Chain A
Amino acid sequence: MKVLVVDDERDIQTLFEQRFRKEIRSGEMSFVFAFSGEEALTYLNAHEQEAVLILSDINMPGMSGLELLEHIKAKYHKPPPVVMMITAYGDEENFNLAKKLGADDFLTKPVDFTLLKEKLKPIQ
């Protein structure tokens, strides 16, 4: 399963690579990282259908995670990939807006990787 992680924090790559080191080593999962919404869209345009799951931060300079979500769900990829939103705000409003825009799930920072792995199991 290919996962696209979108976040403006560069250390997120090291974190994911360590957290999923077993899955990566066994070849169960592979990760691609984009550090802005724009970068993520460029990747998706170039590698259609590759990413099954997209994990995106909401608050990023430039295109926000919610805008990216809107783009993906409205204009790209049939069938659209699973999109999970990650944000620092665990508030109702963001949650509802993300849901409305078609987000499949919602995670808050700091990310609970045990929870994330459980959420990923049924998709695999």
Chain B
Amino acid sequence: MIIQPILALIIFQQLRKFLQTKEQLPYWDKVFKIGSGIAVVIMFFYSVAKNIQFILPLVSDALLFGAAWLVYTKNELNRAKSNLYAYVPVIIIYSISDIVRLISSSFHNEWGTYFETAKLFGIIWLAAMFIINNRQRKALEKERLKAEQIEKESRITAKIKEQLEVQVKERTAEITKQKEALEHTLEELKSAQALLVQSEKMASLGELTAGIAHEIQNPLNFVNNFSEVSAELIDEMNDAIAKGDNEEVKAIAGDLKQNLDKINHHGKRADAIVKGMLQHSRSSSGTKEPTDINALCDEYMRLSYHGLRAKDKSFNATLHSNFDSSMDTINIIAQDVGRVILNLLTNAFYAVKDKQRLLNATPNAPAYAPTVAISTKKQNGSCIITVTDNGNGIPQQVLDKIFQPFFTTKPTGEGTGLGLSLSYDIIKAHGGELNVETMEGEGASFIIKLPV
């Protein structure tokens, strides 16, 4: 039987491969190579030297045992122990069989069937172990590959994570930059808004200036002329005194007193106009003071009307005012509410003027009398100020937007679009309401409701 040297050869080669002796254990590599060489020599003798054949199985067994012994005793080879389990039964059975045959050939032949069965069992064990090992190896290999795959994936994940972190950093930097840019823009917008609010104030001041010019000339006319005429009267009075005409002196003195009163009255009137203008241009002081709302409405009605007339001489409108005489003074920031009233009146005049312009352009248009009305009323503990015009009204699709900042229906450059928005804010700040009622083609009413 040639099986033992073949097994020895296989075991040595397997050990070399498994333990990677060539790289890691060069000494044992040499030993296993020599073992392999011996196994090959034995096989050679099996085929050529028939006379020493009886000794060859024993040599082979010794070789196999030697290999097993080395593996089980040498620490550096211990790892390969499990590889030998499959061979152990075969080695033992063959060795026993060979030894028994050497001692008693007849006994061996007598129990030959049992020996052969045992050998067969050893071979089957070997084969079974081989198959199991192989399967296990394959499973392990599979596991290893799986683990490798997982590791590979985790490496990729880590790499992606790293990339993501870099990206997140970049994005964060970008967002921070954008945030800063936006903050900067917001600052710019805020200052632009402040400028616009100021320019809206200045625009309404411009509208006022023309009105003021007219308003101030009237009292000046009286101041100048009454003082001049009074000087003349004094000359006449001196003449009357010289003549001793006491009646005339008394009459002239009466006239003089009346003139002085008038000069005083109109001087104060001019003073009030100038103060009003200054108040309008000044930024809000924010202090509420008891204010005669009827006088405030009257003042701004005159100013806005004359302001418009100063710009457009051909324009004319009927003005109605209906003030509730039972109205008490109310606590408001007069210049702010005045600005609202002025704005509403300016809008009303603009509306009637616009309607007139449209009707003038239409042939056979019905007669139209532009009318603007302002009224005050005390109602359930509130002060109601209403500004009404009979212009074209406000279209429904525009109505929602009229209080929005920068919304304007005027041609570019004519309106800032801040008038009603500011008005709304001012009335809100007073704890009041600003509402609008309109009918298309019929006109509009703006209603200010202020708490008394």
What is the interface of chain A, defined by CB distance below 8 A to chain B?
9, 11, 14-15, 18-19, 58-59, 61-64, 66-67, 88-89, 93-94, 97, 109-111, 113
How many contacts between A and B, using CB within 8 angstroms? Answer: 64
| A57→B213 CA distance, assembly (Å) | 15
Chain B contacts with A in 240-268, Cβ cutoff 8 A: 255, 258-259, 262, 266
| A58→B228 CA distance, assembly (Å) | 24
Q: Are A111 and B221 in contact (CB under 8 A)?
A: yes
| Closest residue on chain B to residue A9 by CB atoms | B218
List 20 additional A-B contacts (Cβ < 8 Å) besides A62-B318, A67-B316, A97-B314. Answer: A9-B218, A9-B222, A11-B222, A15-B221, A15-B226, A18-B259, A19-B225, A58-B313, A59-B310, A61-B305, A61-B318, A62-B319, A63-B316, A64-B316, A88-B213, A89-B213, A109-B217, A111-B221, A113-B228, A113-B229
Q: Which residues of A contact B262 (CB under 8 A)?
A: 11, 14
Q: Are A97 and B313 in contact (CB under 8 A)?
A: yes
Q: Which residues of B contact A63 (CB under 8 A)?
A: 316
Contact among A59, A67, A93 for B214, CB-based, below 8 A: A59
CB distance from A98 to the nearest CB of B (A): 9
Q: Are A110 and B309 in contact (CB under 8 A)?
A: no
Q: Are B229 and A59 in contact (CB under 8 A)?
A: no
Q: Are A64 and B218 in contact (CB under 8 A)?
A: no
Q: Are A109 and B221 in contact (CB under 8 A)?
A: yes
Report which residue of B221, B226, B258 has the largest number of chain A beta carbons within 10 angstroms of its beta carbon: B221
Q: Which residues of B contact A88 (CB under 8 A)?
A: 213-214, 217-218
CB distance from B321 to the nearest CB of A (A): 10
Contact among A11, A18, A109, A110 for B233, CB-based, below 8 A: A18
CB distance from A38 to the nearest CB of B (A): 10
List 27 A-B residue pairs with CB atoms under 8 Å apart, sorted by A's residue number: A9-B221, A9-B222, A11-B222, A11-B262, A11-B266, A15-B221, A15-B225, A18-B233, A19-B229, A59-B306, A59-B310, A61-B305, A61-B319, A62-B316, A63-B316, A64-B309, A66-B314, A88-B214, A88-B218, A89-B213, A89-B214, A93-B313, A97-B314, A109-B218, A109-B220, A110-B223, A113-B228
| A42→B358 CA distance, assembly (Å) | 30
Q: Which residues of B contact A64 (CB under 8 A)?
A: 309, 313, 316
| A40→B305 CA distance, assembly (Å) | 21
Q: Are A110 and B319 in contact (CB under 8 A)?
A: no
Contact among B225, B258, B259 for A110, CB-based, below 8 A: B225
CB distance from B150 to the nearest CB of A (A): 92
| A110→B216 CA distance, assembly (Å) | 10
Q: Are A94 and B313 in contact (CB under 8 A)?
A: yes
Chain B contacts with A in 203-227, Cβ cutoff 8 A: 213-214, 217-218, 220-226
Report which residue of A9, A18, A19, A94 has the largest number of chain B beta carbons within 10 angstroms of its beta carbon: A18
Report which residue of B214, B225, B255, B314 has the largest number of chain A beta carbons within 10 angstroms of its beta carbon: B225
| A22→B318 CA distance, assembly (Å) | 38
Q: Are B221 and A18 in contact (CB under 8 A)?
A: no
Q: Which residues of B contact A58 (CB under 8 A)?
A: 313
Q: Which residues of A contact B222 (CB under 8 A)?
A: 9, 11, 15
Q: Which residues of B contact A19 (CB under 8 A)?
A: 225, 229
| A62→B318 CA distance, assembly (Å) | 5
Q: Which 3 A-B pairs have the closest CB atoms?
A: A88-B217, A110-B221, A88-B214
| Closest residue on chain B to residue A64 by CB atoms | B316
| A68→B1 CA distance, assembly (Å) | 150
Contact among B217, B229, B310 for A15, CB-based, below 8 A: B229
| A97→B319 CA distance, assembly (Å) | 24
CB distance from B304 to the nearest CB of A (A): 12
Q: Which residues of A contact B217 (CB under 8 A)?
A: 88, 109-110
Q: Are B229 and A18 in contact (CB under 8 A)?
A: yes
Q: Which residues of B contact A109 (CB under 8 A)?
A: 217-218, 220-221
